[in-house]
Structure 1
Amino acid sequence: MKTHITLLTGVFVGVGVFIGGCDTSGPTDATSGPTDDLTFTFDFDSGSHGFVAGFADYPPAREEDFDLTSGHGALPAPLALRSGLFISGLNASADLFMFFKGPIDGLQPGRYEATVSLEIATDVSAGCVGVGSPPGEGVTVKGGATEVEPLPALEGSWLRMNIDVGIQANSGKQAVVLGDVANSRRCEESPRWEMKSYEGRSISAPVSVSSDGRAWLLFGTDSGFEGRTGVYFTRVTVSFEPT
């Protein structure tokens, strides 16, 4: 697996965000719709395309301790001319999963192999020491696809995903590890926002699409770092291949 990093300079600036923020357009209102090979691309510079945020692997009774935030807004300077989906949280559970999800419509019923690729903006340096795990290498980026809507479900006193997204650095049946949030800067250097892209990887479990023609796409971060993580998702591509 390879990752691609574009160097950018600047510091973090706040943006107005809201939990579960989205616009009213459906996810299939993408920059490019499905092509003949069933590839969907969503560029979040133009809006959220109906994707909504979710959080799991934490006790909801302590939600205020996690400072969970999400929304769509301008990237930090000097990237203010671009926008993306922002998500942030304080990992007080040592295993916080933060994600966006959206439906993909218009598929024919059948079984598919799904491949997901991503682009993010991150200011997390590589080689840093953190509580539990490093703040860069200890936070994995995941993409997934499934026939059921991905939802946090209460198990005892904790919210857990209703699909298998794996645990931290491990892939699950419905989500695959694409990389981590560390950029090209070393920890001894001053932080700097960079774009980072992840080549497509296939989900291990096939997606079985029913007569409604719908599948679900999700992407997010799975953290072993017991601190705050905040990233922008700027683009996602998912391809479906009949099996």
Structure 2
Amino acid sequence: MTYLIKSALAVSLLASLAACGGDNVSTPPQGGPVLKAVQVTADFNQGIDGWKGDSSDYSAADAPENVVFEQRALGAPLSGKGYYVAGTNRSDDLFLYVKKQFGGFVPSASYKVMFTVKFATDVPTGCMGVGGSPGESVWVFGAASDIEPKNVVNNGRTALNIDRGNQGGGGKAGQMLGTIGNSVTDCGKPVMESKTLKSKEPLTVKADAEGKLWLLVGIDSGFEAASKLTFQSVVLDAEPVK
């Protein structure tokens, strides 16, 4: 009987230690993935692998011409390379964009994201052009989405399948960051310069079920002629919504 009582006391003591987190008692991990800030960086001087370019916002009758997406050397006096994007606008509303999917996010979690886009441009500010200014009527956009941004055709018009906004305004999945015009005001003497645009406020987006987001940057032209720039780098700063 005495042995049984001692055994019962020993079991009781071990249970108490386990409940209190005593020594040599392992506690199984709890909760899911840790929410933390994520930064995505693309340096186009190093390459454009995985990035794809496309154009939208037009019909068959006014499809863009001379569309180019490729890595090119920056114009003098700049050095290095970037992602050259160009096209001739015939629709009065041409969107040229490049995109890539990135991981590292918590699946299905919401984030507040901010864009920083650096590019090279030789387009002066304050000049007149067909349908608008070649500098102030060409807007730079940043967008992020859990689904792949791609073209869809509705009523004969090719448009993007996400709400990234349009020309001077942003949308649910995108922001208008600024224009391509640089600091030069002499319309007859273009000079190549680097320009950096940043989000003025965060945009809330949700990662997909695999913890991935699509990142997109592009230019939206209301200037009815040829537009171009060379993206140098893109940074997406994402803070989890808690």
Deviation at 1:61, TM superposition (A): 5.7
1:167 corresponds to 2:150? no
Q: How does 1:1-243 map to 2 (within 5 A)?
A: 37-60=37-60, 62-63=62-63, 66-79=65-78, 81-109=79-107, 110-202=109-201, 204=203, 206-243=204-241
C-alpha deviation, 1:58, in angstroms: 1.3
One-letter amino acid of the structure 1 residue matched with residue 163 of structure 2: D
- Contact conserved, 1:128 with 1:136, CA < 8 A, in 2? yes
Distance 1:144 1:207 in 2: 9
Q: What letter matches 1:127 in structure 2? A: G
Q: 1:188 Cα deviation (Å)? A: 4.1
C-alpha distance after superposition, 1:97-127 (max 9, x if no partner): 0011000112112111111110000010010
Deviations 1:165-207 (Å, cap 9, x if unpaired)?
A: 2121111111101110000111345111100011234454x22
**5+ residue gaps, structure 1:** 1-35
Q: Distance in 1 between matches of 2:202 and 2:144?
A: 7
Does the aligned pair in 2 maintain the 1:176–1:203 contact within 8 Å? no
RMSD, aligned α-carbons: 1.6
Give, in angstroms, the shift of residue 162 of structure 1: 0.2
Look up the equivalent residue of 2:57 and give its one-letter code. Answer: D
User: How many residues matched?
Assistant: 205
Q: 2:7 maps to what in 1?
A: none
Q: Distance in 2 between matches of 1:61 and 1:135?
A: 23
Distance across 1 between alignment mates of 2:103 and 2:121: 30
Identity of aligned residues (%): 35
Per the alignment, do residues 148 and 202 of structure 1 end up closer, same or farther by CA in structure 2, a change over 3 Å counting? Answer: farther
> What's the counterpart of residue 33 of structure 1?
none
Shift of 1:92: 0.5
What TM-score, normalized to structure 2? 0.80
TM-score by length of 1: 0.80
The structure with the greater share of residues assigned to helix is 2
Q: 2 CA distance for matches of 1:74 and 1:229? A: 17
Asked if the contact 2:175/2:199 (under 8 Å) is kept, the reply is no
Native 8 Å contact 1:123 1:192 kept in 2: yes
- Secondary structure of the structure 1 residue equivalent to 2:163: coil
- Matched-pair contact (CA < 8 Å) for 1:175–1:203: no
Larger radius of gyration: 2
- Runs of 4+ in structure 1 deviating by more than 4 angstroms, as ranges, are none
Please tell me whether the aligned partners of residues 38 and 104 of structure 2 are also in contact (alpha carbons under 8 angstroms): no
Q: Who is 2:24 aligned against? A: none
| Contiguous gaps of at least 5 residues in structure 2 | 1-35
2:26: which partner in 1?
none
